[in-house]
Structure 1
Amino acid sequence: MAELGVSGVGLGRADSGGGAGRAGADPLLPQEENGVDGRAIRVGTRRSQLARIQTDSVVTMLRELYPDLHFEIVAMSTTGDKILDTALSKIGEKSLFTKELENALERNEVDLVVHSLKDLPTSLPPDFTIGAVCKRENPLDAVVFHPKNCGKTLSLLPEKSVIGTSSLRRAAQLKKKFPHLEFRDIRGNLNTRLKKLDEKEDFSAIILAAAGLKRMGWENRIGQLLSPEDCLYAVGQGALAVEVRAKDQEILNMEGGCSVPVAVNTLLKDGQLYLTGAVYSLDGSDSLKETMQTGVSYPHQNEDGPNDDVQHVGITAKNVPGQAQEAAENLGVELASLLLSKGAKHILSVARQLNDAR
């Protein structure tokens, strides 16, 4: 449904690039025939305000491209939305924000689902595919400060200041970078977390995705953007993914992990894809970080080329040359293998055990 940017795959979920030189293909490119015969297209989404804003943006693009089609938005709550008194990493469910949506997709109650790409688990169910990844927003993490700390940075906060985050990845890295701070779990949607920050004295600051704040119109609340040197972002952060049934060619022909401290940074420049991956212990004291690169500049193949219909890690990307997808996927696999060979599995195993014991 959308033209994909080059995807760096591995260490979790396909990643469409970030930073200077990242892929910038126009989202949701139309095809000559959409093949949906004027039927209503039902679009699944979570109920939160941010999820609705994200889904509305995708549907707006689709309506502009296909004015003769009718789109209906179907909102529902997910496990992650319902369980707010437990840390995400302790719930014990990989598909915290996607399972109910995928169930509806499987039952043909919806035709496609809009996700935050970072919310998708490592692998998709066998009958589903990512048919589109829209042009990515800023993938970096952002710090939102309590009003009393306006104008400060994390390094300038007093000793023992409490920072709220629901992400082990963020906490693990920032504990190492800012050992004078304490990190505490905070749950709820963006509105809820900002209210907890502003109306109470429990937190000096909270860490959120810059992309979500921008989509909500709250960029002015960003007090500090965390560079990759401070905190590598989540795989897929800042990108929206459209999940569909893998065999639903009518929809495809419109062509247009929260629980482990794993992080990435990607850069696409001069036909080279650079991928940095890292794993951390819960307190950030033990970590592994490596960078690898590969060439991804390949011409588009003919319609009957050998790789036209190949899916790479659950993604259908007809507008990206198969060789480029394969190179990006192999880069992710090779980087993951390198980290594993240096002890990443042990670090993550210990992190999971400690997290379960907390």
Structure 2
Amino acid sequence: MRTLLRIGTRASLLAVTQSTWVKTQIEQAHPGTRVELVKITTKGDRILDVPLAKVGGKGLFVKEIEDALLAGEVDLAVHSMKDVPTELPEGLHIGVIPVRETPYDAFLSKTCTTLADLPQGATIGTSSLRRKSQLMALRPDLDIVDLRGNIDTRLRKLDEGVYDAIILAGAGLRRLHLEHRITALLEPTQMLPAISQGALGIELRQDDTELADGLRFLHHGETAVAVEAERAFLLRLEGGCQVPIAAHATLDSGSVTLTGLIASVDGRQILKEATTGPAEQAARLGAQLAQTLLDRGGKAILDAVYCSASTSPHSPLSA
């Protein structure tokens, strides 16, 4: 292992916390190696006044970091896997996937203990079309409002009473040691998580085999299989992180169970199905489940979502 490694990371508190964890793991495993964080501002970090779904989801939080990786300005990148497009730039790969944090969404409220407890017409904040569509299916009476900004900003708005409740990823709160703010974790039967939510990915140059070997100790096989199944589902749907689709995979005794969902933005159409098969066929299972949902009406739902997005002046589809 070389004596100096540079990690490319977003500058947000959560991204830096995640990258610092990787830095610590590397330095403990390789005492002769010093690791530096290189903070990089991405397009998704710069655009804070427009819902992400109207900007275009693919690569919003990774492109500039990948450019730095390809240019040799950093040696590796640490990403939240839910932000990583299914197709990577030539010359790069996700070489290591560490153990996953909770994939579940977290319900936060100062006044209610569960989503069902919210009074009719209560205001709930989320920046995700996936969450919005499932919330509307569960509680069409709620007032669902866009919520952007870093975690501190979102928590402050909740504390100030701007929202009666908000939905955030449980993994981010736990990594920041803010689990005490979680009122309840939403089970997948209530709200299916984002694809790869809670999982980290370490992106490397494909020709840097020495570094890949040196980081192999961080790789978690079960998490990698689950992520492979979920991302194969995403790839077949050709979706980004800001489309109302979801998937969650679990492993048990060498088998992977994958549940997938396609929803309309208004929550009136929810297609959801599960499949189980050998872990070594995770990618095939993901693709097959996606095709099943497409055939059941998912293609028409997604076509409507993309058509709507193409009419937005902020969408790259309209360029």
TM-score, normalised to structure 2's length? 0.87
- 1:54 aligned onto 2:18: yes
Partner in structure 2 of residue 159 of structure 1: 120
- 1:340 aligned onto 2:294: yes
Counterpart code for 1:176: A
Structure 2 counterpart of 1:131, from 91, 95, 110: 95
Alignment deviations for residues 86-136 of structure 1 (CA, whole Å, 9 cap, x no partner): 000111351111011101001100000000111111221121100111101
RCO greater where, 1 or 2, for CA within 8 Å and sep 6 or more? 1
Partner in structure 1 of residue 67 of structure 2: 103
Mapped partners of 2:143, 2:310: distance in 1: 19
Partner in structure 2 of residue 350 of structure 1: 304
Mapped partners of 2:173, 2:158: distance in 1: 15
Shift in Å, 1:346: 1.0
Mapped partners of 1:76, 1:44: distance in 2: 7
Partner in structure 1 of residue 134 of structure 2: 173
Q: Figure out how many residues of one structure are paired with residues of the other and give that number.
A: 289
Counterpart code for 1:192: T
Shift in Å, 1:355: 4.8
Mapped partners of 1:126, 1:287: distance in 2: 35
Shift in Å, 1:39: 3.5
Structure-2 change in CA distance of 1:357 and 1:178 (3 Å): farther
Counterpart code for 2:301: I
Question: Are 1:287 and 1:347, in contact at CA under 8 Å, matched by a contact in 2?
Answer: no
Structure 2 unaligned spans of 5+: 218-239, 313-319
Structure 2 counterpart of 1:286, from 247, 259, 269: 269
Counterpart code for 1:346: A
Structure 1 unaligned spans of 5+: 1-35, 297-323
Structure-2 change in CA distance of 1:352 and 1:163 (3 Å): farther
Mapped partners of 2:31, 2:253: distance in 1: 37
Partner in structure 2 of residue 187 of structure 1: 148
- Secondary structure class of the residue paired with 1:253: helix
Counterpart code for 2:268: S
Partner in structure 1 of residue 33 of structure 2: 69
Shift in Å, 1:258: 2.7
Mapped partners of 1:357, 1:198: distance in 2: 35
- 1:218 aligned onto 2:178: yes
Structure 2 counterpart of 1:202, from 159, 162, 175: 162
Question: Are 2:6 and 2:76, in contact at CA under 8 Å, matched by a contact in 1?
Answer: yes
Shift in Å, 1:271: 1.4
Superposed counterparts of 1:196-345, under 5 Å: 196-199=157-160, 201-254=161-214, 255-256=216-217, 257-296=240-279, 324=280, 327-345=281-299
Counterpart code for 2:171: A
Counterpart code for 1:345: K
Partner in structure 2 of residue 317 of structure 1: none
Pick the structure with more helix per residue: 2
Alignment deviations for residues 27-63 of structure 1 (CA, whole Å, 9 cap, x no partner): xxxxxxxxx4x34111111111111111111111111
Structure-2 change in CA distance of 1:280 and 1:156 (3 Å): same
- Secondary structure class of the residue paired with 1:343: helix
Mapped partners of 2:30, 2:73: distance in 1: 21
Mapped partners of 2:197, 2:276: distance in 1: 20
Partner in structure 2 of residue 86 of structure 1: 50
Partner in structure 2 of residue 142 of structure 1: 106
User: Identity rate of aligned residues, in percent?
Assistant: 45
Question: Are 1:175 and 1:182, in contact at CA under 8 Å, matched by a contact in 2?
Answer: no
Mapped partners of 1:214, 1:93: distance in 2: 24
Which is further off, 280-289 or 251-260? 251-260
RMSD over aligned Cα atoms? 1.4
Question: Are 1:165 and 1:183, in contact at CA under 8 Å, matched by a contact in 2?
Answer: yes
Shift in Å, 1:185: 0.7
Shift in Å, 1:209: 0.5
- Secondary structure class of the residue paired with 2:207: coil
Runs of 4+ off more than 2 Å: 255-258, 351-358
Structure-2 change in CA distance of 1:152 and 1:195 (3 Å): same
Counterpart code for 1:332: G
Question: Are 1:143 and 1:224, in contact at CA under 8 Å, matched by a contact in 2?
Answer: yes
Question: Are 2:194 and 2:245, in contact at CA under 8 Å, matched by a contact in 1?
Answer: yes
Mapped partners of 1:347, 1:334: distance in 2: 18
